[in-house]
Chains A and B, each alone.
Chain A
């Protein structure tokens, strides 16, 4: 029927209401910089080598090099490898990337001789699946890891400490903080490094702030890595970013000279956001950024859109491009903190799809900032995944038996950790005469999910603490002493262990994290993937950890719950066996054939309806329909269809009802095939008492040769949802265990005690 005034299929109006439609999509337009993989302005790959020097790069002669070309030509391109690498056709190299028989080391060697345009051309040959596979093969460290954002909207140090401790418990290898108010950097740093020392040691910590300030915080020993050193793919964008390849490379050396782990940051879309894209594709510009980073001698990169990810996600192929640039990063032998931070979509389906290739391929740091806190507390802006969705991610790990770097946490233990962390930071503040948080403040933070729920510090109060830390030139040594003095010896030891890492500098090598008190990097844990059975595999012990999510049903729990119901219900329903069931002669008879466990071990349907009440209604319905009910217990089967058919064959009218204890019911007729019934209630979780009554009524009507309107239980698919399945399977197993081959049906006399309403 046409609705007046409407000229639209209303499905579109419904689609308009979905979160997806809040995402906006951009047309491909290479001239305006909106092109993911290739643009007419992208150069053709080429290199010229004259007397061991690069004389031209991707079509640009040395005389015309901009500063990015100059840096790449001098520090990235290996003139000894370039002629060989550039001569191999791109499709052939693309096949090598997905060929498990071509060693990673050989591909890394060839990359040293490839120009940005060549690298981009090769990875553009690969499908999304091939990119994910190649990424898994090419990433530097074997064991995957993950990184968390720990921030809050008030810069509250108590909450930072508690949330850092939770992030540590969840298994993050790195945590990163930043501030709403930049003056609060020192307070944030102290709070996070104390929180991160609770439970175990080795989680690296970063305080993302202004370059000079960040280095000072690192020198004071509070932070252990940095990743805010951004690079760009065009000269104009680089200059607008207020740096050059030389200034950034200088900074890279400065960080290493202070024993601080560092990676650069680059990602698709940054040049476009800054207005200097030169009409080049995102991937080509990113290939330049990544060659530049290897040239600078940084160990790794935070890469994959990053702040530009939401813009990249508006373009055709955007997600595939983000994966492709990550592949170039690991192909260049850089540690890769592979984006998946800035939330690029409002659609939870796109979020899940975005993370999946990374989860199953693994990555040095799958998210370069998983929001371990709630979205509104994320001072970097919401991540792809945040505190709200953290358990979804834990379940994805379990579903795919893929190590996403996180481990489920137990509810009780988490509360203890949060208490310990807030007590520790309060002790440090008091011991160093920085502040004296009240017990009420601590208590509010311990249980709070986010800063909206805390009665704690405000940003202005934090600034006083932060500025005092800076002005008094406090260092991590002061914090360690304060912890030890106040009895937090384990935390003091943990923090000291972390600071000690800088003495050897072992964690400055590519892809270094700390696991179980040991530095693990691409050197002592190299990715050795060479096909099935090689590379990173989830061990049985790790698998058990991944499986240990909350609220997992097991057989014992379900059986105990049913036994408890049985104890309570035994008085309400009693079934007396009267002897073998005979074939009836009464033409108005409807035989109800119940399952073996009905009223013996099971006393309620999956939908929670007591069987006593169900039987009362069904018998009433049969009588209302003009029939007479006779109850028979089947012992040879628990299957609905056979219960129904067996009942029908015992029935004088040839009509029977099969009824399982879990609530599934069927009307059957003696001469029909087992699975060709008259009516079926298959959705027992949503079947209500009134439905059972009407089913009884209809059965009686069939018995009289009438054709009643079938009872339809309205469903929107809930009953088939996974919320019921495990329970149903475990309960049904109780029934099947009671079956006995060839056992004859028994006549049952049913009596009701107090029937619940």
Chain B
């Protein structure tokens, strides 16, 4: 069982680079120009991972920034969510896009069941409740 990271482990790329390889990612040292030229490194290798966001959340919490840590944890759940679906959910969350709670609740269900985004799903459901209470399911354009 790994101990939670603290501010002493930051920056991770300098202090704990070995942790970043844990999910089968390439070592940071291997992300060099020669590898890019040869095609061995792609955009895929230059993405942040849920693990890295989780580690940053631990550091943010240790630094006394619990809300930032929460955001990193929500973000970790979105890493594997396709861009189009992210933009779809974002659009639904904007005022007046959904005509009722239903589309938001559906989006939350997909987030939870398809993408395992438990926190984000609860967040979207909470938004649906608030929007109903504040009358945001109204025609805007």
Contact = CB atoms under 8 A, between A and B. Distances in A.
A80 to B, nearest CB: 11
B31 interface: yes
Q: Which 9 A-B pairs have the closest CB atoms?
A: A297-B71, A259-B48, A256-B75, A246-B127, A247-B93, A257-B78, A504-B13, A506-B11, A253-B74
B70 A297 contact: yes
A476 B33 CA distance: 12
Contacts of A259: 47-48
Contacts, number: 199
Interface in B62-116: 63-65, 67-72, 74-79, 81, 83, 86-87, 89-90, 93-96
Contacts of B37: 481, 484-485
Contacts of B130: 67, 70, 244, 246
B95 A508 contact: no
Contact of A481 (B11, B36, B126): B36
Contacts of A484: 33, 36-37
B132 to A, nearest CB: 11
A510 interface: yes
A320 B127 CA distance: 36
Contacts of A66: 134
Contact of B87 (A212, A220, A253, A476): A212
A76 B56 contact: no
Main secondary structure on chain A at its contact with chain B?
A: helix
Contacts of B96: 239
Nearest to A480: B36
A489 B90 contact: no
Contacts of B134: 66-67, 235
B33 A480 contact: yes
Interface of A: 66-67, 70, 75-76, 105, 108-109, 211-212, 215-216, 219-221, 235, 238-239, 242-244, 246-247, 249-259, 294-299, 333, 475-477, 480-481, 484-485, 489, 492-493, 496, 499-500, 502-506, 508-510, 518-519, 521-524
Contact of A500 (B28, B68, B89): B28
B48 A502 contact: yes
A211 B63 CA distance: 30
Nearest to B19: A504
A298 B64 CA distance: 14
Contact of B76 (A211, A251, A257): A257
Contacts of B42: 477
A510 B76 contact: no
Nearest to B51: A505
27 contacts: A67-B134, A246-B123, A249-B123, A250-B89, A254-B78, A257-B76, A257-B77, A258-B48, A296-B67, A296-B71, A297-B74, A477-B41, A484-B36, A496-B36, A499-B46, A503-B31, A503-B52, A505-B48, A505-B52, A505-B56, A506-B12, A506-B56, A508-B56, A510-B68, A518-B11, A521-B10, A522-B63
Contacts of B90: 211-212, 247, 250-251, 254
Nearest to B71: A297
B4 to A, nearest CB: 15
A40 B75 CA distance: 41
A493 B31 CA distance: 11
A521 B10 CA distance: 10
Contacts of A250: 89-90, 93, 120, 123-124
Contacts of B31: 496, 500, 503
B62 to A, nearest CB: 9
Given A244-B94, A296-B67, A504-B28, 17 more contacts: A67-B130, A67-B134, A244-B130, A254-B86, A256-B48, A485-B37, A492-B33, A503-B52, A504-B11, A504-B20, A505-B12, A506-B10, A508-B72, A521-B11, A523-B7, A524-B10, A524-B11
B120 to A, nearest CB: 7
Contacts of A510: 60, 63, 65, 68
Nearest to A524: B10
Contacts of B25: 503
B67 A503 contact: no
B109 to A, nearest CB: 16
Contact of A244 (B28, B68, B75, B127): B127
Nearest to A251: B90
A74 to B, nearest CB: 8
A27 B71 CA distance: 42
Nearest to B89: A250
A522 B65 CA distance: 11
Contacts of B127: 244, 246-247
Interface string B118-137: 00100110110011001010
